A and B are shown apart, each in its own frame.
Chain A
Amino acid sequence: MREPAGSGPAPSDAAPAGEVAAERARLVSYVVLFAAAAGLYVVSLSLPTSRWEPLGAGSFPRLVMVALGALSLVAALGSVRKLRRLGAAPAANPLVAAFFARHRVVVAVFAAFAVYLALLRPLGFAVATFLFLLAAQLLIARWSWRGLALAIVVAAVFSFGLNFLFATVFMVFLPRGILG
């Protein structure tokens, strides 16, 4: 695994570049979790107390946020120590860009999934699913005419077929959209 360009001081010979990048990403996650815990703790202070019990609606969330904040803080400190031991400064680096570069297929399919979810209501389950299945299979598989034919068959069966199955067997009516 390559270290992304412009990632700050070079790690020592003993520290694999991937390990440093992964630890930096985890450090970012600890900081985000700490910030979220702190923010939600403040929000929980406005939750009403109860006349009937010592703990109100906000006490348990406060307890959870304190635990989350404390654990994230300890983990972040451990992460900084680890990065120093690995010989890398805990500086920000283009983690997101590196992630996108290494996970092109994942990102593309998830983007298609997000568009699919957005179109689910207007187009309806059957049509939106057909388009998503077709697009996703073509994104993942190598291009070939045989692959395209298989993709169309699979898309048709698992979009219109699944819609029919849910409606007739489980009596669950998936969004109909343009098919009314």
Chain B
Amino acid sequence: MADFLTALAQIFAPDTLLYMALGSVAGIIAAAIPGFTVTMAIVLTLPLTFTMEPLQGIAVMLSVYVGGYTGGLISAALLGIPGTPSSVATTFDAFPMARGGEPGRALSLGVWASFFGTLISTIVLVVAAPPLAIVAVRLGPWEYFSLIVFALTIVASLVGHSLMRGLIAGVIGLAIATIGPDPMMGRPRFTFDIDMLAPGLPFLVVLIGIFAISQLLSELEGTPGAPREAALIPSAIDFKTWQVMREALGQPVNLLRSSLLGVFVGAVPGAGGSIANLLTYDQARRASKTPEKFGTGVPEGVVASEAGNSATAGGGLIPLIALGIPGSAVDAILMASLMVHGISVGPRLIMENGDLVYGMFIAMVVASLLMLVICTLSMRFFLRVTAIPTSVIVPVVTVCCVAGAFALNNRVSDVYLLGFVGLAGYLLKKLDYPLAPLVLGVILGPIAETNLRRALMTDGDWTVFLTRPVSAALLVAAVLSVAWSVRSHLKGRRMLLDA
């Protein structure tokens, strides 16, 4: 109870609420701009939180996260362009609804569905994370190493178009993590007498380079100087806030089913808002008495897709808080921000930093409320940001990345590293390697190595990973996830050949 009250006091401090409100605005704006992802917004926020208290910093980043999932709705509904990959299904019905003369209703429905989706996912998070952590603290280094192997294989299986490239990306991440001092004895590895490599590659610089710089370069691939598509904004938009809230609440089954599905998808490492968005939309259509109307602007479609993608935010925090395993790139960044403050993330997080975890639960609720208020009051302003030209956004955000990378350690060499990593990330992206497994490999690499070495210090026999039941089950699950992915790939190819 004391932890809860401490957390409550920290979150409701005026400066924290102000920073969270700014974070919500930043997330909404970032996601409303097509091509600027939620991940990039969180990466850019990270350096700004270093001077804050750990809970304050993480609360701000959660606000960006929650705001970002909603911001994607704006360009999806009004332009028919998903602002983020997690709002693809939102375009199916929100855009026709807006085109049909009800843009305010489309936006309001999406905002309310996002709000309820986040709330439901937070409730599941509060209920599920503590018991899971109690089980997880009993895991030894054998189980932990196997858990990381499982997480990496499942991420590689679910992200991108090719399992093989997903696995390679994950292993590249592990290889990057081996540069610099080894995590147990501190012996230098692969530094080749280069000063820049001596402390290892700072994973935050890798994160910024891989996600932000590579994405910004990709944004330049369109026609030079082409203006963004004109927004479909009529002179007056009537949001009908309360009426639409009743409309959203009038679909309790759809709302609950979509939110719970979103939580489940968010909790699975590698799956995320983009999958949840499509899956929940599909389920809503299957359950509907009038599935043929989906795609013409029905409210059920908007509610399902937005509740589903927003609920992944809480779902993704379950493995992060309970196991110390980030399920997505955004969760990896949240984990990194805690590590920067010297907080070790793992099953003991709840026991050793209860106030922080309670604070994260409260922050999720507050962030969703802030998002709701901000979106309702200032949606008209956010509509304008979709018109900012690429020629301004890309250079400005690039400069923000440079300033952020420098601020991490006050080292110009980190900025040079940012350039190299950004270029490498862009080339990998062009070659269709998924980047999320790579980043998870960089973050989980030292944890995997430490647990592997600890496990073998206790017993030098490698078969112990197979004789301990939980470890064996996790390794079997890893093999099954790869086998399932290969099977799906072969099945898909066979269907393509038959067609």
Please list the residues of chain A having a beta carbon within 8 angstroms of any beta carbon in chain B.
22, 25-26, 29-30, 33, 37, 40, 43-44, 47-48, 50, 52-61, 64-65, 67-68, 71-72, 74-75, 78, 99, 103, 105-106, 109-110, 113-114, 116-117, 120-121, 125, 129, 132-133, 136-137, 140-142, 147, 150-151, 154, 158-159, 162, 166, 170-175
Contact = CB atoms under 8 A, between A and B. Distances in A.
Most central of A151, A170, A171 by chain B CB within 10 Å: A170
B136 interface: no
A67 B102 CA distance: 54
Given A71-B171, A106-B217, A175-B412, A140 B419 contact: no
A133 B400 CA distance: 11
Given A25-B431, A43-B190, A140 B399 contact: no
14 contacts: A29-B431, A40-B175, A57-B184, A59-B453, A60-B452, A61-B178, A61-B190, A68-B171, A105-B220, A116-B402, A117-B418, A121-B412, A162-B399, A172-B410
A109 B171 CA distance: 30
B172 A117 contact: no
Given A74-B164, A133-B399, A61 B415 contact: no
B225 A117 contact: no
A125 B185 CA distance: 38
B412 A120 contact: yes
A48 to B, nearest CB: 6
Contacts of A110: 217, 423, 426
B389 A129 contact: no
A159 B217 CA distance: 20
Interface residues of B, number: 58
Contact of A68 (B172, B395, B449): B172
Given A133-B395, A170-B407, A142 B452 contact: no
Nearest to A55: B453
A154 B396 contact: yes
Contacts of B394: 109, 136, 140
B239 interface: no
A58 B189 contact: yes
Contacts of B187: 47-48, 57
A129 B221 contact: no
A158 B398 CA distance: 11
Nearest to B156: A71
Contacts of A54: 456-457, 460
B403 interface: yes
Nearest to B460: A54
B392 A50 contact: no
* Chain A to chain B: the 6 pairs with minimum beta-carbon distance, closest first: A142-B225, A141-B391, A136-B395, A140-B391, A57-B182, A57-B187
B432 interface: yes
B168 to A, nearest CB: 5
Contact of A65 (B175, B412, B433): B175
Given A60-B453, A67-B171, A140 B396 contact: no
Given A50-B185, A64-B171, A110-B423, A158 B220 contact: no
Interface in B202-229: 217, 220-221, 224-225
Nearest to A118: B416
B403 A166 contact: yes
Given A137-B391, A140-B395, A61 B456 contact: no
Nearest to A147: B391
Nearest to A116: B402
A113 B175 contact: no
Contacts of A120: 402, 412, 415
Contacts of A58: 189
Most buried by A among B51, B175, B391: B391
Nearest to B392: A154
Nearest to A163: B403
Nearest to A43: B190
B190 A40 contact: yes
Contacts of A140: 220, 224-225, 390-391, 394-395
A158 B399 contact: yes
B48 interface: yes
Contacts of A116: 402
A47 B396 contact: no
B174 interface: yes
Given A71-B167, A105-B220, 14 more contacts: A26-B165, A33-B172, A53-B453, A53-B456, A57-B189, A60-B448, A61-B175, A75-B165, A117-B416, A120-B412, A136-B391, A141-B224, A150-B392, A172-B406
Contacts of A150: 392
Given A54-B460, A110-B217, A137 B453 contact: no
Nearest to B416: A117
Contact of A64 (B167, B178, B182, B419): B178
Find the residue from B178, B217, B389 having the highest chain A CB count within 10 A. Answer: B178
A105 to B, nearest CB: 5
Most A CB contacts (10 A, CB to CB) among B175, B390, B427 go to B175
Contacts of B445: 64
Nearest to A114: B419
A11 B217 CA distance: 30
B45 to A, nearest CB: 13
Interface string B424-440: 00111011110000000
Contacts of B189: 44, 47, 57-58, 61
Nearest to B394: A140
Contacts of B412: 120-121, 175
A96 to B, nearest CB: 11
Contacts of B400: 158, 162
Interface string B360-387: 0000000000000000000000000000
* Most chain B beta-carbon neighbours within 10 Å: one of A47, A71, A147: A71
Contacts of B391: 136-137, 140-141, 147, 151
A55 B452 contact: yes
A170 B431 CA distance: 38
Contacts of A106: 217, 220-221, 426
Interface in B124-166: 164-165
Contact of B403 (A48, A74, A136, A174): A174
